Structures are given as C-alpha cells and as structure tokens.
Amino acid sequence: MKSKVIIVGAGIGDKDNITVKVKKALENADVIVYDRLINHDIIREYEGKKELYYVGKKASHHTMAQEDINKLMVKMANEGKNLVRLKGGDPYIFARGSEEALFLKENGVDFEVYPGLTAATVCLNSAGIPQTHRNISQSVTYITGHRENDEDQSFEKYGKYDGTLVFYMGLKNLDKIINDLLAGGMDGDADIAIISKGGYNNQKVFKSKVRFVLTEIKEEDFPSPTLIVIGKTVGLSDDLNYFENRVLFNKNVLITRSLKESFDLSQRLTELGANVINAPTFSIEYKNLDILENDIDNFDYDYLIFTSTNSVRIFFETLLKKHDIRKIGKVKIAAIGLKTKRVIESFNLKVDYYSKEGVAEKLYEKLFSIIKKEDKVYLPHSSLTRPYIIDRLREKSTLRDLEIYDNEIIKEKVNFDEKLDAALFMSSSSVNNFIEVYGKDALKDVKIFSIGAITSQTLKDHGLNDIIQPKIASSENLLEEVEKYYENEKN
C-alpha cells in the first residue's frame, strides 16, 4: 500500500481539543512531524513508539527551515512511511498547510488534510467572547497581524468593519494596527481584548477600549501566542467567561507521582483549571520476576495481599503472560487502600478485605481474627514496604513475601519556574525523595495535600505541619479536599 502524508490540525489548548479523526491518524502514523504551538501532551504518548521530528518555529528562530520540512516529508513518504504533519490550530488558517500540501502534490506524494480547531475558535471561547452573536455581530474576520519579511501592510480598511475582528500574531504590530484602524474610521470606544496563551490554564485576557489600549497594556506581560479581538462581543466576556471561573484556574499544582500513575489525577486537575506540574520523584524498577513466575506456576495460597497498585499490576502482568486468571483459584484477596482495591477489581476479581484508610495497621486489624497459623499467605511488595505488615503476618500465618519492585529515586530535577500553589503527595517515599532532590524550601508557602496518615507523618518529620488530608486514603478523596480548599478560598 502506498504511503501517504496526512496534514492535520492539533487544535489549541487542551490536548483533548484534537478531533477523533486526527487522533486515529496519529495512532496509525509511522512518523510524526510537529510544530511548536501544540500541546505537547499530545506527543508524549508516542515518545519511544514512533519517529518524532520537532520542527517548531518562533520569531527569529527556526528549528528547521520550511523548505527542509517540505523535503523531509517527501523523503519519508518515498521511504514508504506514513507520516502525520501535526500543526497547531487548523492547517489551512495561517499555518502554511496549503503550501506544504502543494509541495507534496508537486513531488508526487499522496496527501490528505484534516481540519483542527483554529486559535480564534478556542481562545475566544475560553475568554468568554463569542465570535458572532445575534443582533450584536453578524460576521467575523481573521487577519494576520504581520506579514512575512516584515512587509508593510495597512489595516485602515478594517476601520469601519461592522463585525468581530481577530488578529493573529499581531501583538508586536499593535501600534500600527491600532493607529491604522483609528485612521480608517474605527470608533475609539470600541471594545478590544488581547488574549495570551488562550485555551490553556495560564491564559491571560486584557480588555480595554481601542483608544486607550496602547497606553494601558504592557507587552511584556503578554507572552506569545496572542490574539487581538475587537468588536462588540468582547463586552459579553464578563458573563460568559466560564473558563477562568473554574475552581483551580491558574493554580500551579505539583504532582510527585510518575506520569503513568498520576494520569487520571492530572487529567482531573487540568479540567478544574490547574496548571499541573509533574515532577516524578521515583521510577518503578521490576525485580525478582523469575522468582515471581515460579511462585505463580506453583501458586497454592489461601490469602493474596497487595500493599500498592504497582504490586497488583506487576503480579497480574506476570501471571497473565503464561496463565489465565483462574490460576490463583479461590484465594482470598486483601488490599491496602481504595485505589489498590480498584486496580484489583479491574481484573474482574473480588477483594475480600481492604483498609480504606490506606495503612497496613488497619488491614491487619481486619485480618487478625481471620487468618490462622496454618494459612498460607502470599505478599508481593515493594522494597520500601514498611516491616509492620510483613512481621505481623509472619507471626500470624505461614507467609511467603517477595520484593517485586524497587522505588528508584529520580535525581534529575524538573525545572518549574512557576511559583507553586499546591503540592500533592501520595506516599512517604515521594516526600523523602522530593525533599532530597529539591529541598524543603521548594515547599515554602505551598499548600500541602497528603493522601493519608503515614504520608502526613513523613511530612511532619520534615517539619511540614500545615497539611490537608482526606479521611479516606484515595486520590479521589484527596482531589475533593483540593477542590474544597480552593472553593472556600474563592468564597
């Protein structure tokens, strides 16, 4: 089958602003060539799985010249690779998608173009500014705010335009745009908005009147990308700006779990408006898998106990390589923590005993009067598992425990220039590792949320006492505490 280049729009803002059709194209691609102005969370899931080429451009700095990008696409197509050219916004709106498509056609390469949400659609929406509104604005015009090679252009003709004007990439040219519009007859009292990083949780919106904007705005406070919007619908933004009314909007929230483990929590925080900063403090390194495989081959236990979600995943990944789930027979299953319980249930297994508090002591209390000395207990666990549960089970039963993973500290720092508002800690090891790498001062004036009692005690051991902790140890309940705290702060 002949290879094809598909030019697609990634949309703007949230990674979920891509279309289903674009998502399918990315999944089927061999090669992805992507631009600067996309949400890099879209790319992250393909790292190590596909050939990725970053060809981003910004003012006065091009990673790769346009001519070279065109040649790269042709070269890859001629090698028989299916390539997706991933562009910010929509490929055909100020994005040179049509130029690239024409180059492909001229060089005999098959192509398709999939649309995306253009910046005006996303950014105006998130600023609460409709592009059109009945009886207020019946039309919208997209205008480039600068020309290639700084070619002179006049904006006077838009001065008497009775509709919404949207200028892309125009902030550096703002003086000329405003002066030309006024010279062309625009009412100086017309509403104007400048949107920086629109559609992202750190967006900024500045509103003024056309006659005052040049004296009121400080350009350095509005980093690119920006859009300039002029028109009567700007006045609706106070009532329609749902985006900035979300409870965690523009709060910088630190998560210290791995990206994989924190995916759901990170997604939910983002939906609530937070800028999520992922600074994983440890990596999971499997160990003793040959012994684990042998134990599973000869599995004959009365109880199977899990202390963490990782131990669940590693155990069942290993089991399902050679066996089906029936291999563990009618074993009774116990778990520490609600999240661990739910991961076990994802394998269509019932959890007989669990401690919702997320501590070993509470689980042992439940098992104390049930387990007998002759009962055989299997406990796969981390190298950092506290001795308490191991020692108590060894006293009470015939225990087989096995370390199946290490928590290796990640010493490479994540650079976060933003001032942190909140930090979420899900384990004692994440607390210890974070403070070892970043230091306790990184948490100065930061609101700290802890998943449970053991983690909270570790924080206190480091002299961090102003901690919020849910009654039930789970990421869902922790998130509820975060929401509640910032709702109260807002009110």
The active-site residue, picked from 15, 57, 287, 366, is 57
* Rounded-to-integer distance, Cα 137 and Cα 209, Å: 17
Using the structure block, give the residue that is written with the tokens 């998608």.
97
Q: Residues near 479 by Cβ (< 8 Å), separated by ≥ 6?
A: 265, 268, 269
Structure tokens at 490: 């807002």
* Rounded-to-integer distance, Cα 76 and Cα 84, Å: 10
Q: Count the residues in the chain.
A: 491
Alpha-carbon distances, residue 322 vs 326, 333, 350, 380 (angstroms): 12, 21, 22, 18
The answer to whether residue 221 is catalytic is no
The answer to whether residue 35 is catalytic is yes
* Rounded-to-integer distance, Cα 377 and Cα 400, Å: 6
Helix (H) or strand (E) holding 21: helix 20-28
467-468/282-286 β-pairing:
unpaired
Q: What b/e string do you get for 273-304 counting C-beta neighbours within 10 Å, with b at 16 or more?
A: bbbbbbbbbbebeeebeeebeebbeebebbbb
Before 470, cis peptide (omega within 30)?
A: no
In sequence order, what are the beta bridge partners of 468? 449
The active-site residue, picked from 73, 76, 169, 426, is 169
Q: What is the DSSP annotation of 101-169?
A: HHHHHHTT--EEEE----HHHHHHHHTT--S-BTTTBS-EEEEESS-GGG-----GGGTT--SEEEEES
The answer to whether residue 169 is catalytic is yes
Q: What b/e string do you get for 245-259 counting C-beta neighbours within 10 Å, with b at 16 or more?
A: ebbbbbbbbbbbbbe
Structure tokens at 210: 């056309």
In degrees rounded to 5, what are phi and psi of residue 269? -60, -40
* Rounded-to-integer distance, Cα 427 and Cα 408, Å: 14
Residues serving a catalytic function are 35, 57, 169
